[in-house]
Structures are given as structure tokens and as C-alpha cells.
Copies of this chain bind each other. A is one copy, B any other.
Amino acid sequence: MASDNAAGAHPDIVQALVRANSDHALAYGQDVYTEQARRLFDDLFGRTVRTEFVYGGTGANVLALACMLKPADSVVCTEMAHIAVDEAGAPERILGAKLQTRPSLDGKLKPQDILEVVHMRGNIHHAQPAVVSITQATELGTLYSAKEVRALCDVAHHHGLLVHMDGARLANAAAALGSTPQALRSFTIDAGVDVLSFGGTKAGIVFGEAVVFFNTALADRVENIRKQITQLHSKMRFISAQYIELLQNDLFFKLGGQANAMALALYEKTKHHKSLGLLTPPSVNSLFPTIQPQAAKALQDWAFFWDWDALNHKYRWMTAWDITNKDIDMFAEAVSQALKI
């Protein structure tokens, strides 16, 4: 339950990677695998988009933002946004840009947050809010509805800001919100998002993330910038081949759905422990129980998971695509044992 990063990769995806190792291919993305993967992204989103692959999630985010920002601009996001908290200051160092963070109780940014910073635009003393970055699903395991994303995009665009979506856990969000390409489009391309960090690693891939430009004009310099700030994978076909597999046969939706289902199962099996404070079923693949230190330690020793808010004894259980009902049964049993201590 440590993280969806602790899972391995789906066997079909690994086999796709192995198959891609058959012969020489032009380096740096000039290969047939990359061409096919891009077409599959076009199909997924229902029109021609611009898709570029990078190594990891932080890379996807900084590349997307680098294409959206001008000097002296800032990014508006929640104070618990992954870019603000969990990327070791990469956005500030790589982009040289300020993150204008906003408090949020549920992990979601609100149109009001944008309205409260737009007055900075035009004032040379302030970094200029230029991009709104939202995370779907959020770092707190909540979801923006398509309508909510659209409302944010409308306000942002009205005031001249662009919208970036950090979709490190997009598979879980997509599975939760309809599990079809149409559902996925409803809260991304159709809602007005300009650039999407499309997460593959947490969804079951060995390595490699995608940046999808719905606003293709922003991709003008993306290849130069990718080479400069995120390292360009020479043997690109190995990333592309995995995405070809992921985007076929609904695997992307299935893997996200499986992780979600397991979090729900874990919720069902542990919600009767009132001390955990698990009041509502999870939207996606994470639960945030409250556990007293001694019990928490016993449980972590058995199967590691991260603390979330140490001062308040909050922890994070996170399920991955490869968790099974049997795993959940065992873990729920261990929880029961630990709580007896």
C-alpha cells in the first residue's frame, strides 16, 4: 500500500517493450513506434493533438509548463500540488518561475482562487499569473468533475491564463469518471485544458510519461525545450511501444479501474474501524486513515506505507493496478490486528 510507484509494470506492457527490441530504429523519436503511439493519442482524444514523450512525471510537468510560461510569469496551483511540494523545487529551478500557491481543503483549486490573483496581472512588481495547474486526480484522492474543470478553464481563459493538468493519476480519474475515451475527453480536451501531463508510470508502465498539447500552438518549441530541460531518450521506441500497448484494448482504463476498485474494497473492509476516520468511500485509489503511532508502526513494519500528516497521525494507503482482492484481505486483516495493540 506504499505507492502506485512501488508496483511493477503490467506484463503486457513489458512484453511490448521486449517486442520493440527487434532491430535498429532511428533514435530520438524518429521511429515507427512513436508515430503509431501518437496516432493512438489522436484517437483517444478524438482529434489531432501533439504528443511528446518524456522520462518521468516531474519531466512531464516542467516540460508542459516551460512551453506555457514567459519570463516573469507564475503558475497558480494549490499548496499541496505535486509541483509545489513533491518535486524538490524542480519547477522553480528549471523554470525559474514562481508557484503561486492557494490553500485548499479538498486538494482542488476553485475559480475563486484564480480571481483572487488576477489583479496581479499588469503590476510589474508581481510575478504574472499566467498558467493554472490542476492535478487530476488530486493529491488528496479527490476528483474534478468535467464541469468543474470547464469552469476553471473558462475563468482562466477569460483572464488570459492557460490551463495545465497534471495527470500523473489520470488513469484512476478516467476510470472513476466513466472509463471511456468520451469520459476522459469530457474533463480534458473538451473542458478546455491546454496541456496535459499524461501519466503512464503509476498506471502500469516501466518508464515514460506523455505530454499532450491540446493547444498545439504551445508546442512550437517543445522538442528543443524537452532536449534542454528533461533529457531526450535516445531509444524512444521503448517508451512509445509501451504506450501503444497501454492505449489499446482499454488497458489504460482497466488498470486505473482495478486500482480504484481495490481502494474501494479496502475501504469496505476497514471502514468499521471508527478510529480510522474513513467516512466516505474513495474517489480513486487512495485512503487517508488516522492511525495511532504504535499501531501505525506495527502495520508499516509489516507492509510499508507513507505518513501524510505526521502531526495529526494521518497516513496514506494507496492501491496500484496490480493489487488483488487477496492482497486487500490480508492487509485488512493486518489492520485489524494492528488496531488491537
Residues of A within 8 A of B (CB): 2-3, 5-9, 11, 14, 17-18, 20-28, 54-59, 66, 70-74, 85-90, 92-94, 96-99, 101, 103, 116, 119, 124-128, 201-202, 206-207, 221, 223-235, 238, 304, 310-311, 320, 322
The residue in A55, A101, A201 that gathers the most chain B C-beta atoms within 10 A of its C-beta is: A55
Asked if residues A88 and B72 are in contact (CB atoms below 8 Å), the reply is: yes
Asked if residues B127 and A89 are in contact (CB atoms below 8 Å), the reply is: yes
Asked if residues A231 and B310 are in contact (CB atoms below 8 Å), the reply is: no
A93: chain B residues within 8 A (beta carbon): 71-72, 94, 96-97, 228-229
Asked whether A207 and B228 contact (CB < 8 A) given A2-B27, A72-B221, A126-B88, the answer is no
Contacts A8-B24, A71-B228, A88-B127 known; list 13 others, CB within 8 Å: A5-B27, A9-B238, A55-B56, A56-B231, A56-B233, A56-B234, A70-B221, A71-B224, A87-B125, A88-B125, A88-B126, A92-B127, A207-B238
Tell me the bound Cα distance from A73 to B93 in angstroms. Answer: 10
Contact for A225 among B71, B74, B310, CB less than 8 A: B71
Tell me the bound Cα distance from A98 to B81 in angstroms. Answer: 14
Asked if residues B3 and A22 are in contact (CB atoms below 8 Å), the reply is: no
Contact for A228 among B89, B230, B322, CB less than 8 A: B89
Asked if residues B55 and A26 are in contact (CB atoms below 8 Å), the reply is: no
Tell me the bound Cα distance from A235 to B14 in angstroms. Answer: 13
Tell me the bound Cα distance from A319 to B234 in angstroms. Answer: 15
Contact for A23 among B8, B71, B233, CB less than 8 A: B8
Shortest Cβ gap from A184 to chain B (Å): 23
Could you write out 18 A-B pairs with CB less than 8 Å apart? A3-B27, A9-B235, A14-B17, A14-B21, A18-B18, A56-B232, A66-B71, A72-B227, A85-B125, A89-B97, A93-B94, A93-B97, A93-B228, A101-B101, A124-B226, A125-B227, A207-B207, A207-B235
A54: chain B residues within 8 A (beta carbon): 231
Asked if residues A26 and B207 are in contact (CB atoms below 8 Å), the reply is: no
